[in-house]
Amino acid sequence: MKHTLQINASFDRPDLLQHMVEQLADTHTDNVLAGTIGEWLPVETSSTETYVSGTVSFGDDQSDKVNMPFITRFLFTCLHDKNQPYHLHWAASFN
């Protein structure tokens, strides 16, 4: 018999975390966005590592749900093009 297990993770204050990461990326000083190569548009990247806290929830239904707090390191990568500010595009956990 197969059982479905539902796993969810949520960050504490995700809006504040996204803003902080984008601001850190904006302090990146390399300016490689000087021109284009043919039809290619340059995109600059900036990554930062920081600790993140939140809650992982897992269980097969609401009555058996387990909530576990976590603190772990994440690598965040922001991208921007010539006319836009940095925007958070992806994150990866180191654990």
* The predicted structure's pLDDT at residue 28: 61
Query: Cα(90)–Cα(77) distance, rounded to whole angstroms?
Result: 6
Q: Report pLDDT for 55.
A: 94
Its pTM stands at: 0.64
Rg (CA), the chain: 18
For tokens 């390399």, the residue is 30
CB 42 within 8 A of CB 36: yes
Q: How confident is the model at residue 26 (pLDDT cuts 50, 70, 90)?
A: confident
More confident residue, 17 or 3: 17
CB 56 within 8 A of CB 5: no
Helix (H, G, I), strand (E, B) or coil at 24: helix
Q: Are 85 and 26 in contact (CB under 8 A)?
A: yes
Query: What would the pLDDT profile of 41-92 be if each residue is shown by its tens digit?
Result: 777 888 888 889 999 998 877 677 899 999 999 998 888 876 777 888 888 8
